[in-house]
Structure 1
Amino acid sequence: MCGMVSAAQAADLPDLPILRGGLTEGLSNARVNWDGYYVGVQGGYGSSDENFNGSTKNMTAAVLANTLIESEMQVSSWNTNLGKQSARSSGFGAFVGYNSQWDDVVLGVEASYLHGKFGGSASSSRSLVSSAALSDGNYHSVTSTQTSQISIKDMATIRGRAGYALGCFLPYAFFGLALGNADLGQTVTVQDRVSATQLGTYTALTPLSSNNIQHNHLIYGYSAGLGVDVNLVGGLFARAEYEYIRFTSTVDTSINTVRAGVGYKF
């Protein structure tokens, strides 16, 4: 009886449609199919860095066109030190794209959208008294006050993507065109005062001013970044991403965001 039991334990397993060890090997070599269309939602958090220096120069020159203080004191060329500002904000949005896969290499195109409020504002004032009488025979004391602001509400990027599939992970890099919907505003006020002598009493002239407010203005630039998609189950995947956007407009703006999202590949 002991011999019969030993023989039964040593016997081969019943015939199965797989080889012993084949199931484990098949799971470890499973490849995710990233080919096809996909769509998803995302949220992000980041910082915007604005360079306001020079953003009001053209407006100041237009306000002072054909004036004595512009031609002889070059007020529009003064460095008013509007400076640079940085602010943090969050946003939410969506993405949609298409992947084409060759073995482990995945190439695609994607449109990504984020709604938030990125931007800032700056203001500055500078005064200068002419070192000599101007051509009208008077000394001039000029004060230039300027403000500049930008608020970017919507950002969309159209990117080309290149990734490499590693099991259920798809790390990728991208580069593309960036579009933004922004509210822009600049205000300039120049106050001129005149005196017959440099140390005398200055009489204020009528101030010259102008403002330019643009709502829903289209700005553009470029986008680049890195990310990774992780297949969860079926066509469902999670995403983590870093994106850099540079907008070139009246106010040069750079936006850095980190994003998390979830999508579905059809």
Structure 2
Amino acid sequence: MKRLIAIAALAGLGATAASAADMTGPVAGSAYDWSGFYVGGHIGFANGNVRATDVTQPNGGFFTDLVPAGTEGFGFRDTNIAGGAHVGWQHQWDQFVLGGEASWTFTGIDKTIVSPYFPDSDTETGKIQHYATVVGKVGYAFDRFMIYAKGGYAGGKVGFKARDNDALVTYEQNEWHNGYAVGAGIDYALTDKVILGVDYTHIDLGSKTSTGNNVFDDGSLGANPETYKVKARADAVMARLTYKFGN
């Protein structure tokens, strides 16, 4: 639902931009040239969803015998600040703008919950530390306004930690996940070089299965390793400030 609201908001902004352009008269071609290399920064909020599932339940792990093997898991949802940098190149033909962009974004998505299986002793944490995207962009320009859609690769660092505070033992994994990104946005050329924008991106980082040891606070290893499959995705809305280096 949040994703649909964000897309609808961006569509509304695009419609407003188009109406503003129509008020100035027919557009035979964009007077402003969006072609060129650009760099910038972005900041906003990201809503993350991380899910960790115990794939093979070992003896003495963070599981319960009341749940069938391979179905016990933990879900984490968090909305937090996010921000980073982007760089790209684009070229304009008439009112169509084609290009590519790479970005890196830090996120504060980090959620700790009490275990639904052992609430008196266990806590679990899921987080998305940062992600990167490499996407293609297709835009349509109304003079100094441009609306665009984008899609391509996304990868990010995802973490999961399970902690038994009675036994003083911890299982933790921090893995790089690969997936995809899709989104849309609107830009406004405040000057010939300075561009302001609003951008929505859906990031799906897929899933990754990792096996690791339980580690006691004294550094010794538990008798049985844990194997968890972790999935992650996020929806981000960013305000952007970009500088364009000529045509």
Residue equivalent to 1:166: 142
- Deviation, structure 1 residue 45: 0.9
Return 113-122 or 31-40, whichever deviates more: 113-122
| 1:57 maps to amino acid | V
| 1:227 maps to amino acid | G
Counting only pairs closer than 5 Å after superposition, residues 1-266 of structure 1 correspond to structure 2 as 31-52=31-52, 55-58=53-56, 61-63=57-59, 77=69, 79-80=71-72, 82=74, 84-124=75-115, 126=117, 148-186=124-162, 211-215=170-174, 217-249=175-207, 250-266=229-245
Scaled by the length of structure 1, the TM-score of the pair is 0.63
The separation in 2 between residues aligned to 1:153 and 1:92, in whole angstroms, is 11
The separation in 2 between residues aligned to 1:230 and 1:220, in whole angstroms, is 32
The separation in 1 between residues aligned to 2:130 and 2:96, in whole angstroms, is 32
Larger gyration radius, structure 1 or structure 2: 1
The separation in 1 between residues aligned to 2:95 and 2:30, in whole angstroms, is 12
What whole-Å deviation, never above 9, does each CA across 1:193-232 have from its counterpart, x for those lacking one?
xxxxxxxxxxxxxx9x9753234x2122111111011111
The higher-RCO structure (CA 8 Å, 6+ apart) is 2
- Over aligned residues, Cα RMSD in angstroms? 3.5
The separation in 2 between residues aligned to 1:50 and 1:183, in whole angstroms, is 9
What whole-Å deviation, never above 9, does each CA across 1:154-212 have from its counterpart, x for those lacking one?
111111100011111110000111111233324589xxxxxxxxxxxxxxxxx9x9753
Question: Contact 2:54–2:73 (CA<8 Å) still a contact in 1?
Answer: no
Stretches of structure 1 lacking an aligned partner (at least 5 in a row): 1-23, 128-144, 190-206
Question: Contact 1:63–1:210 (CA<8 Å) still a contact in 2?
Answer: no
- Deviation, structure 1 residue 260: 0.4
What whole-Å deviation, never above 9, does each CA across 1:103-161 have from its counterpart, x for those lacking one?
1111111011211211424443559xxxxxxxxxxxxxxxxx87543222211111110
| 2:133 maps to amino acid | T
- Deviation, structure 1 residue 243: 0.9
Residue equivalent to 2:6: none
| 1:213 maps to amino acid | E
User: In structure 2, do the counterparts of structure 1 residues 248 and 119 end up closer, same or farther at CA, with 3 Å as the change threshold?
Assistant: farther
The separation in 2 between residues aligned to 1:87 and 1:47, in whole angstroms, is 6
Question: Contact 1:80–1:124 (CA<8 Å) still a contact in 2?
Answer: no
Percent of aligned positions that are identical: 27
How many pairs does the alignment contain?
199
Question: Contact 1:116–1:154 (CA<8 Å) still a contact in 2?
Answer: yes
- Deviation, structure 1 residue 51: 2.8
User: In structure 2, do the counterparts of structure 1 residues 176 and 110 end up closer, same or farther at CA, with 3 Å as the change threshold?
Assistant: same
Question: For 1:31, what is the secondary structure of its paired residue?
Answer: coil
The separation in 2 between residues aligned to 1:220 and 1:111, in whole angstroms, is 15
Question: For 2:142, what is the secondary structure of its paired residue?
Answer: coil
| 1:252 maps to amino acid | K
User: In structure 2, do the counterparts of structure 1 residues 174 and 226 end up closer, same or farther at CA, with 3 Å as the change threshold?
Assistant: same
Question: Contact 2:162–2:170 (CA<8 Å) still a contact in 1?
Answer: yes
